[in-house]
Structure 1
């Protein structure tokens, strides 16, 4: 590579340092210039976040790569790049697995990367992340001038440094780090983080950033499985109470007789079995945040007592005649339409208005476009580690199937689907593959499509409509005369009965797993409890 060629590519990037560009555009321009200088099949920019490498920009890799999180300890190539100074190129016959195996676009059956190099990017003397280049041809980088790549890496470090500084200034203007914290959930024990790039997702993150720094009570609404608890964690993480406890209580998981004790605590002798004093959730959350999930399930009597605490900050433990003050920020979540519940007399109007000081709606997955692929990427990486595989990828038809599916159970349904499909696909794969490819047939989305009354929560559909839906449930793109492994075509009546039997089995099994708790079963199935009850009656289970 000549000096003039290198300068011609670097000068526009130097100009970009002084331009007001979105962080994503700045990084994407960096990768485009990188691939122009050093032709390869894929390039990526990854930011180091704790012990994880998070892709912030990709070029030539599948979309779901942006949703993946690469644990450094599980990927020896990435660890080697971080630990070494300068550019590292791996031998084409190395036995170290490449994290991008199976992820390079338009490779058909060529899944494994054969030529790979990259280097660490450092800002202020500390590792910021990595830039990587990959090629399927094992000799692609034979003629690459590593010195030129090191020069490019220096400019890349300057670019990420500028992007970081600009981002910090923007966040400080919007209550310091609230927006940054809203992008990820750092709570201990939380298995997932908020991931997305769609317009609906970005608006939600902006709303979180707006309300996080206040002490306003937030009511998070949305369908089952959309991630309302993640939103609550993000609000807490971006608040001034972030270093204080976040205490959660699922209001539907407790019998009515125990809710008051769980919330406010009790003193010894308050009721049979109260052998000592016990602090309630409000006391435990003092100074921090209390998250009440499924707040629509609270009994009317408890709503009145909660209203008093929210108004005065004073609470009284069960069995005690003394009051004490707590300082708690309340976040509540529900998949019910509480305004309708108020109109029908099933919810207190004053309590509803006290809860919904700042309403925040979480969009369903079907309205978030290609976010489904990013979320799937993160789930695939989790399952890759759990199953001990080198990689798990989605074929093109699998990606199309995920994008076309309406996701009645939202992110929770996607999580279960990815885990189930990966396990089943691996079980039938012979020999055991290093890189597992999930195809549309492995996802089998038509089989797991929920009945209509489970998809539309809150809609009171008749038994006739439910049966009509079951009669017409079939894959949208399945040919009518498609062969079925030599078996005879199943009559429509048998298909209808099979769907009803399957629905009956799902509900019965969920109830058994949760000791006949209808609320817990409804949560697992991703439906409203009232809809689940109607389905059970129609199926003869109640």
Structure 2
């Protein structure tokens, strides 16, 4: 026998602060041979069922309880957000028979994926501007669940992202609703299917009821997180990233790998302190992003964070850049100027590539760090500053101390709390999350409806060693997207990047360039032959060190300024500044 129940008219009772359904007015109806269970049909015998009169959906009571009760039970449990949201979307798949679903949190004018089911993993790294996605904007603007017709002209943000359907890129049945927490829109629950007509009006009504449970799950996650933050006297990291010094919004730190979680744990431990931090790691791993995260998590988050690349400073101007100068201190000093330390007063100063500073400057910098007092170049007046130092280097500074290129006291003063930033090759599927962020960035830049990676392209990214780390991945996605778009005969709405589109070693073998011959040619002078050899040695050193002129000079055993002069004489592009 099947029980027809009005889900809409259920009376609420309070369980851990959330409204749950208890009283259910029912009427008895006769069972049928084939009973529809949330969009799926089965001819096997069913136990007593619950059917909602307003929704006209036949639901078996045991299956209903088996699907919904775990979500209800989770309301009182302290679960990690990704696990709580994952269980919620698993229930969505069972209830609606969807191909894909997503939980998106509204942050300003951007929707951030918190969990996805049936969508490519790089979706979690994407950020959807509401103004660029009319379907998402329509869902946010509506107070009720919305189902879009199969022939809707509005582009679907998930076209091309549904797993296992590389040959079927377009979503044809889509519905969703706004989730409201504390009387404010928290975000969206979206449900998609590739087949038109998968959902019907009954599913829309079911979604109306289920959205209350989804909002309760989200509210539980938000409350638990807020309680944990209050207990630790920490701020929400998502709201603490500040605008960078150049006015561009800081990119988020993305990742879920064990290596990334260890980094996050370290950030939480030291972020709220005043300790000097030394960030260590290979070039391109994102040390500046980590420095910004440390600043955002500190009591100084409301004050400025000033960044300076020590390797890019001409030796003659290092002191002026750091400590400032007064008018007439040197040729070109036409007015007083504050240095980076004074600009960062009460805030944070990030010293990138700190190992490149000359030894005399290290001594002066050490004094400022220890005493908080500095003198501008050309002045005897003392200025007091209160600055937290975060330094970074891709070199082994301990070895640099042994080699005499870094002062021991300077090194020990910087490495109060050393923090290793893991290379991208050790972060597993984080590569796909970060790729998703860059794909969405380039989709917007190129004016495409969608930009995605095929399964083979994802596998190629995961198999690559990434010697240039995140910076290399960013440039690869930008370069590959532009080349792939240019290679298409017609401009597609959704551009799929294949493995062959990626400019990766192994994906498209490149011919090795022939080395420049250094053999003496007939009629060539000794000076020309020596210049050819010198040019080749300098270029090889630059190639080995990624065009880092300071590192190339050290490997050749010459002064950086002399190397720059030699390069200009030989027709090579010298370091700027």
TM range (shorter): 0.7 to 0.9
**Residue among 114, 120, 126 paired with 2:184:** 126
**Residue among 270, 287, 311 paired with 1:228:** 287
**Counterpart of 1:69?**
127
**Counterpart of 2:87?**
29
- Structure 1 residues 362 and 142: CA distance shift in structure 2, 3 A: same
RMSD of aligned alpha carbons: 2.7
- Structure 1 residues 9 and 439: CA distance shift in structure 2, 3 A: same
1:103-137 residue CA offsets vs partner (Å, 9 max, x unmatched): 00011211011110000101011110100001110
Question: How do 1:337-356 and structure 2 match up within 5 A?
Answer: 337-356=396-415
Asked if 1:12 corresponds to 2:70, the answer is yes
**Counterpart of 1:266?**
325
**Secondary structure of the structure 1 residue equivalent to 2:451:** strand
1:389-412 residue CA offsets vs partner (Å, 9 max, x unmatched): 000110111000000000000000
Question: How do 1:403-482 and structure 2 match up within 5 A?
Answer: 403-446=462-505, 475=506
**Counterpart of 2:394?**
335
- Structure 1 residues 70 and 532: CA distance shift in structure 2, 3 A: farther
Contact 1:168 1:176 in 2 (8 A): no
**Counterpart of 2:458?**
399
**Secondary structure of the structure 1 residue equivalent to 2:512:** helix
**Counterpart of 1:86?**
144
Asked if 1:252 corresponds to 2:308, the answer is no
Considering fraction of residues, name the structure with more helix.
1
Contact 2:104 2:188 in 1 (8 A): yes
**Residue among 514, 523, 530 paired with 2:551:** 530
Q: Distance in 2 between matches of 1:327 and 1:49?
A: 33
Larger Rg: 2
Provide runs of 4+ in structure 1 moved above 6 Å. Answer: 521-524, 539-542
Question: How do 1:134-283 and structure 2 match up within 5 A?
Answer: 134-142=192-200, 144-177=202-235, 187=244, 188-190=247-249, 192-283=251-342
**Counterpart of 1:454?**
none
**Secondary structure of the structure 2 residue equivalent to 1:419:** helix
Contact 1:251 1:292 in 2 (8 A): yes
Listed as ranges, the gaps of 5+ residues in structure 1 are 447-474, 479-489, 502-516
**Secondary structure of the structure 2 residue equivalent to 1:311:** helix
Q: Distance in 2 between matches of 1:235 and 1:113?
A: 41
Q: Distance in 2 between matches of 1:207 and 1:108?
A: 39
Q: Distance in 1 between matches of 2:133 and 2:199?
A: 22
**Residue among 58, 74, 78 paired with 1:2:** 58
**Residue 22 of structure 1: how far off its partner (Å):** 1.4
**Residue 18 of structure 1: how far off its partner (Å):** 1.0
**Counterpart of 1:497?**
513
**Residue 531 of structure 1: how far off its partner (Å):** 5.4
**Residue 431 of structure 1: how far off its partner (Å):** 1.4
1:482-519 residue CA offsets vs partner (Å, 9 max, x unmatched): xxxxxxxx9xxxx4335889xxxxxxxxxxxxxxx99x
Q: Distance in 1 between matches of 2:427 and 2:261?
A: 10
TM-score by length of 2: 0.79
**Counterpart of 1:50?**
108
**Counterpart of 2:377?**
318
**Secondary structure of the structure 1 residue equivalent to 2:275:** coil
Q: Distance in 2 between matches of 1:330 and 1:197?
A: 28
TM-score by length of 1: 0.84
Contact 1:224 1:523 in 2 (8 A): no
Considering fraction of residues, name the structure with more strand.
2
Q: Distance in 2 between matches of 1:445 and 1:218?
A: 35
Contact 1:220 1:332 in 2 (8 A): yes
Q: Distance in 1 between matches of 2:115 and 2:283?
A: 31
- Structure 1 residues 210 and 291: CA distance shift in structure 2, 3 A: same
Comparing both chains, which one has the higher relative contact order based on Cα–Cα distances under 8 Å and sequence gaps of 6 or more?
1
**Residue 178 of structure 1: how far off its partner (Å):** 6.1
**Secondary structure of the structure 1 residue equivalent to 2:169:** coil
Q: Distance in 2 between matches of 1:152 and 1:248?
A: 48
